[in-house]
Structure 1
Amino acid sequence: MKRTNLYLTEKQMERLRQRSEQEGVAIAELVRRAVDSFLAWDDPTYRPMPPTPQTGKSHSSPG
């Protein structure tokens, strides 16, 4: 995986935090899922990579 930075609105972050807690997955995983959905939207040949198990400590930015 490649690390990247992106800017989200406060509302987007709050919704992602809520969803992350509800589903028990990291915000980064939710963002990867959203990107996969976007890329597959109009490209039937797009196949996302299966999720890889997280190892070590999870990282989160201060919010």
Structure 2
Amino acid sequence: MKRVNIYLTDKQIERLHQRAVKEGIPRAELVRRALDTFLAWDDPTYIPSPRPQLRNAHSSPG
């Protein structure tokens, strides 16, 4: 994985933070998931990288 810098609006940062807190995952992981969704939107051959196991993740349903 490589580090990338991006510019976001204040509103985007706030919404991203709210969602990260709600989901219990880092903002960077949300950005990666959003990018994977965007890249797969019209390209059925795009296969996202496996998602990392996060501290809060559970192996059994809720």
TM bin, normalised by shorter chain, reads 0.7 to 0.9
Count, aligned residues: 54
Compute the TM-score of the two structures, normalised by the length of structure 1: 0.81
C-alpha displacement of 1:40: 0.1
Runs of 4+ in 1 over 2 A off after TM superposition: none
Q: Partners of 2:24 and 2:50 in 1: how far apart?
A: 18
| Stretches of structure 2 lacking an aligned partner (at least 5 in a row) | 55-62
Normalising by the residue count of structure 2, what TM-score does the alignment of the two structures yield?
A: 0.82
SS at match of 1:28: helix
Identity %: 65
What does residue 42 of structure 2 align with?
Answer: 42
- Aligned AA for 1:17? H
- In structure 1, list runs of 5 or more residues that go unmatched: 55-63
